[in-house]
Chain A
Amino acid sequence: DQQVKQNSPSLSVQEGRISILNCDYTNSMFDYFLWYKKYPAEGPTFLISISSIKDKNEDGRFTVFLNKSAKHLSLHIVPSQPGDSAVYFCAASFGQGAQKLVFGQGTRLTINP
């Protein structure tokens, strides 16, 4: 069951540049998409979300873009900072019931000074 996929296990970006993390999904019934960030020995921390009826949501340095026709979303971090080094998970939820989150495999982002 690979409803949410993050095909890049790792990404390395120079400090100050843009980080782009990608996520694909297969189920067109998802209503919301969320990005979580995870540091070692901590639980996932919510970053930003987007409704399936939007194509962009921005919060400070973080912007999420949604392309419904391609079933693809991306998280842009500008400018990247060393503290952004973490594992980033894409997650999706349905609009019914308890709205559990379905997670992708995660992408490890490393920001180089």
Chain B
Amino acid sequence: EPEVTQTPSHQVTQMGQEVILRCVPISNHLYFYWYRQILGQKVEFLVSFYNNEISEKSEIFDDQFSVERPDGSNFTLKIRSTKLEDSAMYFCASSVGPTGGRSGANVLTFGAGSRLTVL
């Protein structure tokens, strides 16, 4: 079964350092997402990406965050200058996309996550 793969599985970094989290979405999917889950809290939406541009972003996704699809297969999340509160599990997800109307839900397939620890 096709899956979303994420690397690294765990990254430890010093506050103020740049971090890049990588994802390989499912090949025929058109929509890409990043979510995060701070320990003990709910899964929060960060950003969605379609047709090589951001389609929606949350308040969390400030100027310190950026996303890129550099080569047609990878989808990356960059945090420019990490803060302690960026420590979380970051999930990449992809989907075929909204089917329009009421023909079906937009089912996201998630990767296993990248745990980011900022010291």
- Tell me the bound Cα distance from A111 to B3 in angstroms: 27
Distance (whole angstroms) from the CB of B108 to the closest CB of chain A: 6
- Tell me the bound Cα distance from A51 to B42 in angstroms: 23
- Tell me the bound Cα distance from A46 to B104 in angstroms: 14
Complex interface residues of chain A between 61 and 113 (CB less than 8 A to chain B) = 89, 93, 95, 97-106
The total number of A-B Cβ pairs within 8 Å is 75
Q: A43-B112, A95-B98 are in contact. Are A100 and B105 (CB under 8 A)?
A: no
Q: Is A103 in contact with B56, judged by CB distance below 8 angstroms?
A: no
Distance (whole angstroms) from the CB of A22 to the closest CB of chain B: 15
Q: Is B31 in contact with A98, judged by CB distance below 8 angstroms?
A: yes
Complex interface residues of chain B between 29 and 64 (CB less than 8 A to chain A) = 31, 33, 35, 41-45, 48, 50, 55-56
Q: A31-B102, A44-B91, A98-B56 are in contact. Are A49 and B44 (CB under 8 A)?
A: no
Interface string of A3-15 (1 = CB under 8 A from B): 0000000000000
Distance (whole angstroms) from the CB of B21 to the closest CB of chain A: 13
Q: Is B4 in contact with A43, judged by CB distance below 8 angstroms?
A: yes
| Closest B residue, CB atoms, query A32 | B105
Task: Give A residues with C-beta under 8 Å from B.
Answer: 31-34, 36, 41-46, 49-51, 53, 89, 93, 95, 97-106
What 5 pairs between A and B have smallest CB-CB spacing?
A: A43-B110, A99-B106, A32-B105, A98-B48, A49-B105
